Amino acid sequence: MASRPRTGTEGSHGSHGGGDPALEYVASVGKGTDLDENGSKFMASSSSVGMEGEGTGKGVTEGVSQEGGEKGGRNGGGVAAEAGEVQQPFVASTAPLTFTDFLEKMRAPAAMDLVRGIKGFINDMLKSSTTGDAEGDSQKVQSFLSQSEVAFQSHPLWHDSSYEELEAAGEGLEKYLLTKLYGRCFGVAAEDKERDELLNQRMKALRSFIKPEHLDIPDKYWNEQSWTLAQKELQKINTYKAPRDKIVCILNCCKVISNLLSISVEGAGADDFLPILIYVLIMAAPPQLESNLAFIMRYRLASRLNGEAAYFYTNMVSATTFIETISPSSLSIDASEFIAHMQAAGVPGSQDYQSQSAAPGGVTMTEVPPPAGAAAATATDSRNGVGVVTPNPKQAPAMPPASPNPLQQEREERLLSNPASGPPPVPEPVSLPPLSVVEEKGSTMLLEAEGLGELHMRYKFLYSSLSDLKLKDLGVLLNDYKELALRFESLSRGYKLVSGKDLALEEQAAPRLVKAFHRTTPLVGGEVGQPSGEGLIRLADNPVMAAGGALPDPPLMSALPTPPMQQQQQQQPVSNSPLPDLLS
Amino acid sequence: MAPNSNCTDFKVVVLGEGRVGKTSLILRYVRQIFAENQQATIQASFLTKKLTLGNSRVQLAIWDTAGQERFHALGPIYYRDADAALLVYDITDRDSFNRVKNWVKELRKFVQREIVVVIAANKQDLARNQQIPDDESQEYAKSIKAGHFKTSAKAGKGVEQMFLQISRQLLAQRSAELSKAASSASSGSKGTGSTGRRSVIISDEPSSSATKSSCC
């Protein structure tokens, strides 16, 4: 009890992700690690957006984060007075210690024991057989991080060190660890991908028609320049790997909006903030945002996700939830207009909004029970758009009941928690459209996704030719194959249960699909031994497929070898020179 | 080690319909201002306030929330792990009072821990247009064992007292939790307390927290 983790309150001390990586980067530019280069890029691109910086990184630090003055004046006065006004939130002042300092410290002979421990942990993580067990990974990393912080406190290397120096060491470790483990830990969980897809789909549709007035954003806050800047800050989230740096992108985005709101003479609060954040988010549409949010929650040391960082993080979670569960009544817009737009944008299941549009307010919207039978949902591809993000029935049991971090718990449960959401409904047979129709629809979407390069993120070998493959890829391939086989088998059994039709026998569409795919990509023709499976599996991958719990955690996953770290990282849009090896 | 290690942190979520004065209350309390005709060059959605009660130091993290109906379903994301909920309504607006009742029901349902609940009958400066009689709201607050305060962010009335009361209750609740945990640990019983977990809403008697206040 005494140590019950508190969120949102330690805002005035420590380094709680309050936006100072930018500062660290300022300090460490030129020292030559890859992440520092990221930092300088960050600065450069931001100041070019027109903040008042003098073409240096300061512009961002002060202009966006408004904390220059509070950081011990290292960056000079600048906006310090104004920053002072901004008050506690970003008071968090980390000593001017950088990630580079951490790395240097680790090179000291006295650090050998620590380095060995860190390296051992990373190796164990990479070797551990199950991938996609995000919660398990999260717990391991969280406990390693907190244990290490305790170890730092009594370690000779930090003898007589200040609180800030220890904090910085903890930050450094977190950054190092998660950069090394990024390929394993980021965006690999099935539920993250599902959420990403759902969110992207909604954002894309909304982007085609939404106006600030639909969210009743007052005219005085219509500021294209600020909004664009906020979008750009948010879009940087995928250029960083460390959880803290990702949070900073969220914070910077929110800070831009907060600064905009400060023109208000009445004192603008959350009533004004959230609608703008949602609008900015829709316009920014950063890929993999749900994966990013989950990554932060899992791998940011829980005790550091607090204060203002926790507040704005929560707002971002709130904004994505709003978008994922959007219905006509969520917006100040004529229901039929909304439905027409969503249909035009090809949001599957948008005709279902019809019945929703009468529902007053968001609560009712989310009371809609998950579609009867997940496979039914599969057929129309995510009726979860109606406000129910169905993966949760599957997700929930996998989560530890008492999450150490209340925020994490909140994220896990947030969609289960709506009023009147009862127990998951019992699947009952429903009439499904013929499979060929379903698959036809799916394949159109698939090709679209393929055009956007989304498939490449998920199926790393999709564009490989035979000569690209290395022996070590075999393990991954085999594992992928098993997973696909199991998912397909689960889906087809589930489909048969609800529809009485046999999925495995209706394969007409698939060969066409492969053919279409062939036209655009140099697929290894001879390799496609199971063309039908290819097409179907992709269908099966849509967000709702897993909703009925049909997805097993494949018992055969143990075949997975250590994921080739560098290779996986390179899939991410991350500028990517390798981290220096601690054990050089 | 941490600079604030002897300071107890609490999260206070402020709920209330749009434009009932949530933000103004927070600003009035934390900044001692009512920003009607002056430039409020601060972001007001998240603010912290430190105060000293007797020998205890407390830091409140005050979370403003968007009150518009369209965001209602998002409420649990914010209040799930809150220590206190401040429910604000506008005394000239019946709907805003009904929303408060709604939130109370939800809090009972979704917050599994004990949480301090206080109702702010705001905009007392507009009392001539009052729609909800004092009796009614006070009765209601009593029925749910919540604190009740008549406030005016504009006039600066009742605000300080309200947050002080919240802080006292939070401290009392925390120390009750701690002693409960300690006693259950010593008696060998396991887990969180067996009593009172179901009653989500509590309201400690103010007298029970024998702390003298001196706000900082």
pLDDT tens-digit map of B101-113: 999 999 999 898 8
Q: Residue B3's pLDDT band (boundaries 50, 70, 90)? A: low
Confidence (pLDDT) at A151: 92
pLDDT at A442 over 80: no
Mean pLDDT (chain A, rounded)? 65
- Tracing tokens 């968007």 back to the chain, one arrives at B66
The mean pLDDT of A121-126, rounded to a whole number, is: 93
pLDDT at B93 over 70: yes
In A107-247, where do the E strands start and end? Answer: none
Q: Residue A386's pLDDT band (boundaries 50, 70, 90)? A: very low
pLDDT at A363 over 90: no
Subunit contact B48:A2, Cβ cutoff 8 A: no
Subunit contact B42:A85, Cβ cutoff 8 A: yes
Confidence (pLDDT) at A255: 93
Let me know if A219 is exposed, middle or buried by CB neighbors in 10 A (0-12, 13-18, 19+): exposed
The mean pLDDT of A231-256, rounded to a whole number, is: 96
Please tell me the least confidently modeled range out of A45-54, A189-198, B74-83: A45-54
Say if strands B213-214 and B46-53 run parallel, antiparallel, or are unpaired. Answer: antiparallel
Hey, is the C-beta of A13 within 8 angstroms of any chain B C-beta?
Answer: yes
Q: Residue A164's pLDDT band (boundaries 50, 70, 90)? A: confident
Let me know if A519 is exposed, middle or buried by CB neighbors in 10 A (0-12, 13-18, 19+): exposed
Return the residue of A nearest to B180 by Cα: A1
CA A273-A275-A280 angle, to 5 degrees, is 95
3-class secondary-structure state, position B46: strand
Angle, helices A243-261/A270-284, rounded to nearest 10 degrees: 120
Greater model confidence, A552 or A306: A306
Subunit contact B77:A419, Cβ cutoff 8 A: no
Confidence (pLDDT) at A359: 38
DSSP code of residue A578: P
Confidence (pLDDT) at A118: 95
Confidence (pLDDT) at A32: 32
Chain A: give the shortest CA distance to residue B184, in Å. Answer: 11
Neighbours of A110 (CB within 10 A): 12
Hey, is the C-beta of A402 within 8 angstroms of any chain B C-beta?
Answer: no
Select the residue of B24, B45, B61 nearest A273 (Cβ to Cβ): B45
Return the residue of A nearest to B49 by Cα: A88
Q: Residue A160's pLDDT band (boundaries 50, 70, 90)? A: confident
The mean pLDDT of A211-226, rounded to a whole number, is: 94
Share of chain B above pLDDT 90, in %: 63
What's the pTM value of the predicted model, to 2 decimals? Answer: 0.63
Confidence (pLDDT) at A430: 53
Confidence (pLDDT) at B132: 96
Return the residue of B nearest to A309 by Cα: B46
Confidence (pLDDT) at A352: 64
pLDDT at A251 over 90: yes
CA A497-A503-A506 angle, to 5 degrees, is 145
Subunit contact B81:A406, Cβ cutoff 8 A: yes
Domain boundaries, chain A: 332-432, 438-570
Subunit contact A311:B2, Cβ cutoff 8 A: no
Confidence (pLDDT) at A429: 46
Subunit contact B43:A9, Cβ cutoff 8 A: no
Confidence (pLDDT) at A517: 53
Hey, is the C-beta of A81 within 8 angstroms of any chain B C-beta?
Answer: no
pLDDT (tens digit per residue) in A533-542: 332 223 223 3
Return the residue of A nearest to B17 by Cα: A271
Confidence (pLDDT) at B49: 94
pLDDT (tens digit per residue) in A22-69: 333 322 323 333 333 333 333 323 333 333 333 333 333 333 333 333
Query: Closest Cα partner for A273 from A311, A323, A229, A244?
Result: A311
Greater model confidence, B105 or A445: B105
Greater model confidence, B37 or A202: A202
Q: Residue A367's pLDDT band (boundaries 50, 70, 90)? A: very low
Neighbours of B190 (CB within 10 A): 8
If you average pLDDT over each of A2-6, A21-25, A324-328, B207-211, which comes out highest? Answer: A324-328
Q: Are A283 and A215 in contact (CB under 8 A)?
A: no
Confidence (pLDDT) at B148: 97
Domain boundaries, chain B: 7-213
CATH architecture of B7-213: 3-Layer(aba) Sandwich (3.40)
ipTM of the complex: 0.84
DSSP code of residue A346: T
pLDDT (tens digit per residue) in B175-187: 998 888 888 877 6
pLDDT (tens digit per residue) in B97-149: 999 999 999 999 989 888 999 999 999 999 999 999 999 999 999 999 999 99
Confidence (pLDDT) at A348: 73
Chain B: give the shortest CA distance to residue A198, in Å. Answer: 18
Q: Residue A462's pLDDT band (boundaries 50, 70, 90)? A: confident
Confidence (pLDDT) at A401: 35
Confidence (pLDDT) at A236: 96
Chain A: give the shortest CA distance to residue B61, in Å. Answer: 5
Confidence (pLDDT) at B96: 97
Greater model confidence, A130 or A514: A130
- Tracing tokens 């003298």 back to the chain, one arrives at B212
Confidence (pLDDT) at A475: 77
Hey, is the C-beta of A535 within 8 angstroms of any chain B C-beta?
Answer: no
The mean pLDDT of A443-472, rounded to a whole number, is: 70
The mean pLDDT of A452-461, rounded to a whole number, is: 66
3-class secondary-structure state, position A161: coil
Chain B: give the shortest CA distance to residue A169, in Å. Answer: 14
Q: Residue A365's pLDDT band (boundaries 50, 70, 90)? A: very low
Q: Which residues of A touch B186 (CB under 8 A)?
A: none
Confidence (pLDDT) at A63: 34
Q: Which residues of B touch A363 (CB under 8 A)?
A: 72-73
CA A34-A35-A36 angle, to 5 degrees, is 90
Subunit contact B178:A330, Cβ cutoff 8 A: no
Confidence (pLDDT) at B98: 97
Confidence (pLDDT) at A542: 30
Confidence (pLDDT) at A454: 65
Q: Which A positions 220-259 lie with beta carbon below 8 A of chain B? A: 255, 258-259
- DSSP string for A51-103: -SS-SSTHIIIIIIS--GGGTTTTT-STTHHHHHHH-GGGT----S--HHHHH
Please tell me the least confidently modeled range out of A197-206, A257-266, B146-155: A257-266
> How far, in Å, are A21, A24, A57, A180, A241 from residue A28 at the CA level?
10, 6, 12, 20, 17
Greater model confidence, A292 or B193: A292
Greater model confidence, A141 or A352: A141
Please tell me the least confidently modeled range out of A319-333, A509-523, A565-579, B100-114: A565-579
How far the first Cα of chain B sits from its last, in Å, is 23
Confidence (pLDDT) at A34: 33
If you average pLDDT over each of A515-519, B70-74, B206-210, which comes out highest? Answer: B70-74
Q: In chain B, how long is the greatest CA-to-CA distance?
A: 60
pLDDT at A117 over 60: yes
Subunit contact A267:B27, Cβ cutoff 8 A: yes
pLDDT (tens digit per residue) in B157-201: 999 999 999 999 999 999 998 888 888 877 654 443 333 333 233
List beta partners, residue B147.
Answer: B118
Greater model confidence, A34 or A320: A320
Mean pLDDT (chain B, rounded)? 83
Confidence (pLDDT) at B116: 96
